[in-house]
Amino acid sequence: MPRWIAIGTAPGWDDIETFNQEMNDTAQWRPGPRTTITTVYALDDGRLLAECHAVEQKDFEDWLQEKGWQTESITPIKHVAKTGSVWEIT
């Protein structure tokens, strides 16, 4: 399944309490039956990085918009290496 990385900002997400409220519920990670937000990082410079697995990029874009992100970029992921395993994303 295709994957994307988004970089951007969202109001208040630099605060751990706000970040927790936004992402605490499991439903926040599954915006649709074939869409999963797998990781969200709050970076020290105030930006956010999120990874999504979805059938279409629009599903991820809709989630980002719903969350109030000001998106700098959304980029498809081509290859992944994680703890010794490497695979191609198709």
pLDDT over 80 (residue 84): no
Number of domains in the chain: 1
Whether 65 contacts 13, CB under 8 Å:
no
Full domain range(s) for residue 7: 3-88
Q: What is the pLDDT of residues 41-81, one digit of tens each?
A: 999 899 999 999 999 999 999 999 999 999 999 999 999 88
What is the model's pLDDT at position 37? 95
Q: What is the CATH number of the domain that holds 43?
A: 3.30.70
Whether 10 contacts 72, CB under 8 Å:
no
| Total-model pTM | 0.86
What is the model's pLDDT at position 49? 96
What is the model's pLDDT at position 22? 87
CA 72 to chain centre: 13
CA dist 59 and 24 (Å) reads 20
What is the model's pLDDT at position 38? 93
